[in-house]
Structure 1
Amino acid sequence: MPFYRFEEFGEEKLTPHLSSARGPIIEGDYIYFCLVSKDPGTGSELHYHPNELMIFPVAGKIHSLVGKDRRIVAPGTFIHIPPYARHQMLATEDGQMDYLYVKDRSWTVVGIAQDEAVPDAAPTVEAVNKEFDAGNYPGQEKEPEKSEAIVEGLRNSYHPIIDSLDAPPFSTLNYKWVEGERLTFGFFDLPEAYEEPSGENAHEQFIYIIKGVVDARVDGERETVTAGGVIHIPKGSKRSVSTAKGKFARYATVRASKNLEDLLAKS
């Protein structure tokens, strides 16, 4: 089924020994598409992972660190975390933090402490939680000299997209793409009575509706998708997205790349 809502899924603790992050996980063929929540004043320890990560806050503020670059990030700014980059995401004391959390599937969603080596096999969420609930530490030995975390030499990972998610709709089609090594993030405002050209998706894609309503078709299925809805478009699927007269839509999207497809084909 190509249409989802995050509330239909149970919450998972993504990396319980390193982070307070919890939320539903939608697994695609190439992408993990998640909505992560953290309580005020909580967050993650310094960590890294071999897969690329894209973060887009939708509520609250993130006290973010990527490499050595620390900033307070509000909804409307996109954060790109390259593979192996050391990072940390904390919720400020203002309130709960919610953000889209999207990773490529060359690794799982489980992180690695900054002072640990990459394990031989990627741990699963289920296995890590089982160990953690049993009172065991599910990570690796503390061997800083074997860590592959990248701290130095990272470029600016913060991309301003829009002043506020509540900003008035644009008068015309408005969109931005930010292309990573394996994943590409997009942000779209669709004006009223707009119809995207239908076609076949070259790569897997997820769409998250932030505001408004869209009429979406994926292969033979059609649905009216409101704010909070998720559209999953597998690679090779035929898709179309449109808005009705008097309606607009604002959405965030992430799609896979050929680089990622080639990488996973080798694994």
Structure 2
Amino acid sequence: MNGIAEHKEPPQARTPGAYRAQPGEYVFNFSKVNQILGGPDYSPVFGGCVEGDRMIVALMTAPAGKQSEPHSHPNEQWIFVLEGVMEILVEGQRHTAHPGELIYIPANTVHCGCTPSGKDAKFFTVKDASHSLHGIKVRP
């Protein structure tokens, strides 16, 4: 060693625009972190996203009457509905989730969703950090 401290750049977020937790940071305010699209080329959902070493979390809003296009992602996903109603289509099966209900999307599973009630839905989502928050749109 030459006695000079090395300056390391903090790790970058896997998800474009997401906030990457830095050493010594333990509390985050979703309304103050970058607001990003949950799936820029296939979904209208938006909100704050924070990434750690092994987990990605986001507090998202699904606009009323809007629908995402079919997509998948190589990481599994959990979606906890906080407000509103979400309809999801997972591998061709339709499900409806209400506040307090939890949705599980296995890795590499084609799915899409909408908010049919005329009211925005708000949900908290968690994914493992093997891939970004964004998925991959199914191409016809």
Normalised-by-shorter TM-score class: 0.7 to 0.9
Q: Which has the higher helix share?
A: 1
1:75 — aligned with what? 99
Matches within 5 A, 1:151-230: none
Unaligned runs of 5+ in 1: 116-141, 143-267
C-alpha displacement of 1:93: 3.2
Matches within 5 A, 1:35-46: 35-46=59-70
User: Alpha-carbon deviations, 1:146-180, whole Å to 9, x = none?
Assistant: xxxxxxxxxxxxxxxxxxxxxxxxxxxxxxxxxxx
Identity of aligned residues (%): 29
2:83 — aligned with what? 59
Q: TM-score, normalised by structure 2?
A: 0.78
User: Alpha-carbon deviations, 1:183-211, whole Å to 9, x = none?
Assistant: xxxxxxxxxxxxxxxxxxxxxxxxxxxxx
- 1:8 counterpart (22, 32, 39): 32
C-alpha displacement of 1:76: 1.6
1:27 — aligned with what? 51
Indicate if the aligned counterparts of 2:77 and 2:106 stay in contact, CA closer than 8 A. yes
Indicate if the aligned counterparts of 1:21 and 1:36 stay in contact, CA closer than 8 A. yes
1:104, 1:114 → 2: CA distance? 21
1:92, 1:35 → 2: CA distance? 19
1:97 — aligned with what? 121
- Tell me the amino acid that sits aligned with residue 10 of structure 1: N
1:39, 1:78 → 2: CA distance? 19
Unaligned runs of 5+ in 2: 1-24
Question: 4+ runs of 1 displaced by more than 2 Å?
Answer: none
User: Alpha-carbon deviations, 1:89-110, whole Å to 9, x = none?
Assistant: 2112330111011111111111
Indicate if the aligned counterparts of 1:61 and 1:94 stay in contact, CA closer than 8 A. no
**Higher RCO (C-alpha 8 Å, min separation 6):** 2
Q: TM-score, normalised by structure 1?
A: 0.42
2:72 — aligned with what? 48
1:236 — aligned with what? none
Partner of 2:39, secondary structure, is: coil
